[in-house]
Structure 1
Amino acid sequence: MSDLGRLVADRYLLVERVGSGGMGTVWRAEDRLLGRHVALKKLHIPPHLQDDEIRTLYERTRREARSAARIAHPNVIVVHDVLDDEGLPCIVMEYIPSLTLSDVLKQRGALPPAEAARVGRAMASALRAAHDAGVLHRDVKPANVLLGEDGRIVLTDFGIAMESGTSSLTKPGELIGSIGYLAPERLRGAHPETGPASDLWALGATLYQAVEGRDPFRRGTAIETAYAIATDSHEPPRNAGELAPVIEGLLVKDPERRMDVHEAERRLADLTGSRTAPTEPATHQARPDDPTLPAPAPAPAPRTERTGSGRRRRTVLWSVLAVALVACLAGGALWWLKTGTERATAQPPATDTTTPSPGPTSTTPPPPVPAGYHLEEADSGLSVPVRDGWKRKTLPGGEVVYIDPSGLVGLRVNVVEFAGTDPVRHWRETEEDQTRRDNPGYERVRMASTTFRGRPAGYWEFTFDGRAREYRAAELAFASSDGTQYVIYLSAPDAQWHEYRPAFETATDGARLTPTP
């Protein structure tokens, strides 16, 4: 019997079915008590589920309501109530006449960059509010973005959200989410319960699809898609315009170097003209656009995963296959993996104790110099791959910089002395007094501890104002086994950062220390 026209909980009259998926149906309902329309989401229970699996689905539905209710934000769906109907949990939410972003892309094709930026800005704002409330969404995708008829943009479906301080509802090795939007760190199997960075990866994949009309990593099968996300580079977006640097920053495979939610929201607001203007006029002195001068560093630019080490690539391959193959072969409602808008769950073998291999150690040789680059040996004893056509210049004090043909991009290699052995601590101690003073418009993108060939290192990324344009810079600081401290640094126009970031990654990945005679 159809539920149309039925009264739920003696209050909500089901008027129209507005959406349906594998695990639930959403109805437009009339709230007879308050005289308003609401959206009522009712859970479906597949007949072959075991009792413990049913209890898990019930708890996920309740957590969806609780997670969304913790977030008070105009770009997040408002939850009114949770109730049981014929033994099944239901969520009562605000009703928003709308289409999903997924439906819009199917019906009308890709969005212009400006419209995609407007959608992205609302999504980033919603995710920032969720993360501030201790909630991870974990299923960001076009199907969960509502585009209201009144222009409002709303992030919905917190059905697999994770709250801080609560226990996980996933089993060891189990992944839940839509395969095309799962971050690489989740697919490698080492971090099934990841942090905010995974939501940001999904935002990047969503924006890519919004402007290109296709998923950035979609392949013929779920297994191939999972492997592509974990190991392959995506084709650069062709239709993104000024949105491209944001998409590239979000689709960085290393979560530690991925653009964070605050920078994403700021940059998307700049693109849409909705960023709040400063209350006081800037008084900074303009800087010349000279890549040889000191420059601030933007949010840590993510390092592209490379295929230089055969051992490392094989490890990632087996890890991804362990996740995806079992997901496709095992039975049961919570052991399936599908493409499209359905959720993906993967269960690796219980006996699999494989963990991803660590990054390059001091004994791991660097990868071969890629085509289009050549090895340059600086006087400091550190050799790095440099793009063909870049000219070397030695600055006063011995610092070496390699400048691209445009004269706007510079790669610097130098021996430095920090106050102590921790570069991140040193940067933080000098950031306000020195960096902000010497770099007008300085804004930190990322500053974090990392490793280089198995040794402690620091990564710093930031933006700053040049004379005619905004710049971004990234810096890797590390020490050799004899205690010598090195810095590899790249600065480039922020608008072209996605074009020049690979030069920094290639230099750091392929750096070679010249043996002491």
Structure 2
Amino acid sequence: MSDEGRLIAGRYRLIDRIGRGGMGTVWRAEDEVLSRQIALKRLHVQPHLTDDELATLYERTRREARSAARIAHPNVVVVHDVVDDGGLPCIVMEYVPSTTLGALLKGGEVLAPTEAARVGLGMIAALRAAHAAGVLHRDVKPGNVLLGADGRVVLTDFGIAMTSGTSTLTKTGEIVGSIDYISPERMKGRNSGPAADLWALGATLYQSVEGRPPFRKDTAVETAYAIVVDPLAPMKQAGSLEPLIEMLLAKDPAERPSMEEAERALRVVASEAPTQFHAQPHTEPHAQPPSQPDRQPKRQPKPQPAPTRSLPAQPSAPAPSDNVGGGGRGKRRVLVPGLITVTVAGAAVAVGLYVTSHGDSDTGTHAASASSTPTSTSTSVPVPAGFHLVTDKTLGVSYPVPDGWKRGKATSESVTYTDKTGLAELTIGTVDPAGPNPESHFKNIEANTKLNYPGGRYRKIRMQRTTFQDKAAAVWEFTIKGRARVFRAIDLGFGQEGAKEYDIYLSAPDAQWDTYRPVFNKVKAGFTTD
């Protein structure tokens, strides 16, 4: 006999079944007291369980309700009530018209990295709220991520959540959860904390872009072994999400990023142009020939604002990142302090923009002759031997460039030059409007650089405030270990708050730094602004 139409607890009328799992069924129902639709999760009858096991199951259900009820956040499903139906506990929840991420992926779909990052932002917002309330989810997986019709991302099913100050409901040697998303430390029976939820987030993101869980094998035992021991399989479709996913899936919880670091990295990817990535085998854009095993850290194309689909409200602007991808090809982003406003679910959300070189346009007038005479507020200086003067009317600057260095594509915010080896790079960039001091956006970039270059691969040499041409300035010097060599870079930023900031950036192999560093000095000495 169907339960459809049955009245639960004298007020909840079952309408249709919207989900079913091993332990319970979720119904769409009508609250006849308040005349609203709700979701009702009702446990199945479990005749094979002992009385003690049933008591444990029911207590888990009540804990799910209590755990979720402690969290007030738009990315966490709202729990309204817990009622009894013939001895079985039922949780009355907010009804979210949606599909699950798990159902979407089972249908053979995968998400573009930008969309996966958007979903990840909703998940991490929910987890931050849960952890702040002292609740560990412990069953983060695609099946527990609701994708609302309005773009809302909701984390649900806190059925095995653990609240600080309560006892565990598992037996010795028992692991509760979905095996593909259980962290290595939980798999080994160790105490776990928030980092275990982050590992599950990483596994969910991996499956979202690659179409399969990261360590799945033919049997549960093999999967568990792979989670604890095997290296992560290479990703083909993760794009710029790859470095974050790798860190989230670190075997050692201490090596995983913090919630804040993961959120910043997700914001960077979510803010990139939706058309930039597709579900296809991962290749580096403009792949270099095999004879050039790696490149210097580079700036990337300017991303467009994030799409206006129900991104959860975010408290801060995205932080840019450095990332060495296939073949060691590095990437460098510069955060623009200016913010734009995007309407999301009726609310204004601040989204940071960051700009880089290698855009689609090739703008700017560049004179390859020392006879070019820029209009400048500072005294002209002689062009060094072996250099030629470039006057860039688009950027409003003039500067010397070494003869033989090849100019790359330019945007309205930056232009890049590389030497004949392709391993040394000079970038002239602008940030408009400028913040109070370039050190602030250097620190934003550095935070994500540390995330993308773990294990000591990034090393700061110095970051200090100074002045240049009577304007507030900062110098940041660092090294990054690529796959084939170590690169060294220096960045000078200077400008007036609210006006325009100018950046002079040079990177080159660390082993040849003494050869390339004079280039930076000469460009800096000959740099003039309109």
Shorter chain as normaliser: what TM range?
0.5 to 0.7
Aligned ranges 1:268-287 → 2 under 5 Å: 268-273=266-271
Aligned ranges 1:129-278 → 2 under 5 Å: 129-188=129-188, 190-191=189-190, 193-273=191-271
Aligned residue type for 2:114: A
Over the residues paired in the alignment, what is the CA RMSD in angstroms? 3.7
Q: Residue in 1 aligned with 2:121?
A: 121
Contact 1:67 1:163 in 2 (8 A): yes
Greater length-normalized contact order (CA 8 Å, ≥ 6 residues apart): 1
Aligned residue type for 1:72: A
- In 1: Cα distance, 2:142 partner to 2:77 partner: 15
Q: Secondary structure at the match of 1:110?
A: coil
Contact 1:75 1:125 in 2 (8 A): yes
- In 2: Cα distance, 1:61 partner to 1:44 partner: 12
- In 1: Cα distance, 2:264 partner to 2:239 partner: 17
Aligned residue type for 1:158: F
- In 1: Cα distance, 2:104 partner to 2:76 partner: 19
Contact 1:43 1:88 in 2 (8 A): yes
Aligned residue type for 2:102: S
- In 2: Cα distance, 1:50 partner to 1:492 partner: 65
Contact 1:105 1:210 in 2 (8 A): yes
Aligned ranges 1:384-399 → 2 under 5 Å: none
- In 2: Cα distance, 1:492 partner to 1:52 partner: 63
Contact 1:436 1:442 in 2 (8 A): no
Deviation per CA, 1:12-47, whole angstroms, max 9, x where unpaired?
000001111110000000000110000000011321
Q: Secondary structure at the match of 1:65?
A: helix
Q: Secondary structure at the match of 2:80?
A: strand
Give how far 1:460 is off.
7.5
- In 2: Cα distance, 1:38 partner to 1:71 partner: 18
- In 2: Cα distance, 1:244 partner to 1:114 partner: 12
Q: Secondary structure at the match of 1:176?
A: coil
Q: Residue in 2 aligned with 1:381?
A: none
Contact 2:442 2:476 in 1 (8 A): no
Contact 1:443 1:462 in 2 (8 A): no
Give how far 1:181 is off.
0.6
Deviation per CA, 1:48-86, whole angstroms, max 9, x where unpaired?
101110010010000000000111111100000001111
Aligned residue type for 2:148: G
Give how far 1:473 is off.
6.9
* Unaligned 5+ runs, structure 1: 280-403, 409-434, 448-458, 475-489, 494-517
TM-score, normalised via structure 2 length = 0.55
Identify if the C-alpha distance between structure 1 residues 202 and 278 changes in structure 2 by more than 3 Å, giving closer, same or farther. closer
Q: Residue in 1 aligned with 2:83?
A: 83
Identify if the C-alpha distance between structure 1 residues 46 and 446 changes in structure 2 by more than 3 Å, giving closer, same or farther. farther
Q: Residue in 2 aligned with 1:10?
A: 10
Contact 1:45 1:54 in 2 (8 A): no
Aligned residue type for 1:92: V
* Unaligned 5+ runs, structure 2: 272-312, 319-420, 426-438, 464-473, 490-530
- In 1: Cα distance, 2:459 partner to 2:248 partner: 16
TM-score, normalised via structure 1 length = 0.56
Deviation per CA, 1:199-247, whole angstroms, max 9, x where unpaired?
1111101000000111111111111111111100121211011111111
Identical aligned pairs, as a percentage?
59
Q: Residue in 2 aligned with 1:390?
A: none
Aligned: 1:97 with 2:120 = no
Aligned residue type for 2:26: V
Larger radius of gyration: 2
Identify if the C-alpha distance between structure 1 residues 70 and 2 changes in structure 2 by more than 3 Å, giving closer, same or farther. same
Q: Residue in 2 aligned with 1:311?
A: none
Q: Residue in 2 aligned with 1:27?
A: 27
Aligned residue type for 1:245: P
Deviation per CA, 1:126-182, whole angstroms, max 9, x where unpaired?
111111111000000000000011111100000000000111111122111101111
Deviation per CA, 1:327-375, whole angstroms, max 9, x where unpaired?
xxxxxxxxxxxxxxxxxxxxxxxxxxxxxxxxxxxxxxxxxxxxxxxxx
List structure 1 runs of 4+ shifted beyond 3 angstroms.
274-279, 404-408, 435-447, 459-474, 490-493
Identify if the C-alpha distance between structure 1 residues 21 and 151 changes in structure 2 by more than 3 Å, giving closer, same or farther. same
- In 2: Cα distance, 1:157 partner to 1:65 partner: 9
Give how far 1:260 is off.
2.1
Identify if the C-alpha distance between structure 1 residues 2 and 125 changes in structure 2 by more than 3 Å, giving closer, same or farther. same
Q: Secondary structure at the match of 2:107?
A: helix
Identify if the C-alpha distance between structure 1 residues 72 and 276 changes in structure 2 by more than 3 Å, giving closer, same or farther. closer
Aligned residue type for 1:259: P
- In 2: Cα distance, 1:10 partner to 1:54 partner: 24
Identify if the C-alpha distance between structure 1 residues 232 and 6 changes in structure 2 by more than 3 Å, giving closer, same or farther. same
Contact 1:259 1:445 in 2 (8 A): no
Contact 1:208 1:216 in 2 (8 A): yes
Aligned residue type for 1:150: D
Q: Secondary structure at the match of 2:195?
A: helix
Aligned residue type for 1:183: S
- In 2: Cα distance, 1:103 partner to 1:183 partner: 22
- In 2: Cα distance, 1:57 partner to 1:492 partner: 57
